[in-house]
A and B are shown apart, each in its own frame.
Chain A
């Protein structure tokens, strides 16, 4: 009986993470300022990483772990680059 419980729980968790991604996307699209958009993107990639981990549990495949690790690495570099870009002053607005 344990398999359906786990499968439904992971489905519910993925729905919750999907809603969380929607919230982050709202911040990414509607700003209002550039730093809010970057914050939304930072939250979005962290949630995407968690989503990949739950996919890995769902299909019992460890390969998803590698993808999650790479998303973590690349997202960090992207956010740091964007924050440095903001530091240079009024470039975007």
Chain B
């Protein structure tokens, strides 16, 4: 099934723990995507997978390959940097787009446009 025979026990157990924790945290975040009631509450759910879930799985991967190849394998940091910098941008744009659409639709659940918003007013609804 796999070629992990030559890995020492501590590294195998630590990798297993990190990967399982990361997958579990990501799963809880995705369950929140289904369970939470409103869109604005659901936006918070994927951030579990992009922070702790991703960090655990990346640490597990870096540890596994570093021990397996007997030299530091660190390019997992690249994914961590990249996802940490980009996920806030996408979520922020998505929330602003949703807010804009809700205000055009005249929803009363969102704060009105004068509560600190620089978005343009709706032109033709």
Which A residues form the contact surface with B (CB < 8 A)? 1-3, 5-7, 9-10, 12-14, 16-17, 19-21, 23-24, 26-27, 33-36, 38-40, 42-43, 46-47, 49-50, 53-54, 56-60, 62, 65, 68-69, 72-73, 76, 79-80, 83-84, 86-87, 89-90
Contact = CB atoms under 8 A, between A and B. Distances in A.
Q: Is the interface of B mostly helix, strand, loop or mixed?
A: helix
Q: Could you say which of A50, A60, A79, A84 has the most chain B C-beta atoms within 10 Å of its C-beta? A: A50
A27 B34 contact: yes
A35 B19 contact: no
Q: Which 7 A-B pairs have the closest CB atoms?
A: A9-B16, A2-B12, A20-B30, A13-B23, A23-B30, A86-B97, A83-B93
Interface residues of B, number: 65
Contacts of A42: 46, 90-91, 94
A1 B9 contact: yes
Contacts of A21: 30
B82 A19 contact: no
A35 B34 contact: no
13 contacts: A9-B17, A10-B19, A16-B26, A20-B31, A34-B101, A46-B54, A49-B54, A49-B79, A50-B26, A54-B19, A57-B65, A72-B79, A86-B100
